[in-house]
Amino acid sequence: MEKAIETIPESLLGNISTKLIDVVLTSQDRNAVPTQLAKRVIYLWRQDQLATKTGVSTLIDAAIKVDADKTYWILDELGLQKVSASLKSVF
């Protein structure tokens, strides 16, 4: 997964972060994101690090658990089809 994340341009990290936060926060399934992962998201948010590669990686992990199809669609919409395909092979 980390190799795929590394290919994401820095200029897209903020946009991806915003869209993935929406996926995670609008989930109807409150138990979709494991506690440890939720704590990591909150920690990165408090450190203002969600728009970094580490933050986006964590958000992708959480968003895939919540709604994988929507997560892949967001990546595809932003022109990151290779990242999306790579993640599909991992998850």
pLDDT digits (tens, 9 = 90+) for 26-50: 988 878 999 999 999 999 999 999 9
Task: Reply yes or no on whether the pLDDT at 8 is more than 80.
Answer: yes
Which residues, 6+ apart, have CB-to-CB distance to 82 below 8 Å?
4, 7
CA 83 to chain centroid: 11
DSSP H helical ranges for 33-90: 35-46, 53-77, 81-90
- Distance (Å, rounded) from C-alpha 47 to C-alpha 19? 19
As a whole number of angstroms, the longest Cα–Cα distance in the chain is 32
Structure tokens, 84: 């999306």
- Distance (Å, rounded) from C-alpha 69 to C-alpha 25? 16
Task: Reply yes or no on whether the pLDDT at 90 is more than 90.
Answer: no
pLDDT band at residue 68 using 50, 70 and 90 as cut-offs: very high
- pLDDT, residue 27, reads 87
- pLDDT, residue 73, reads 97
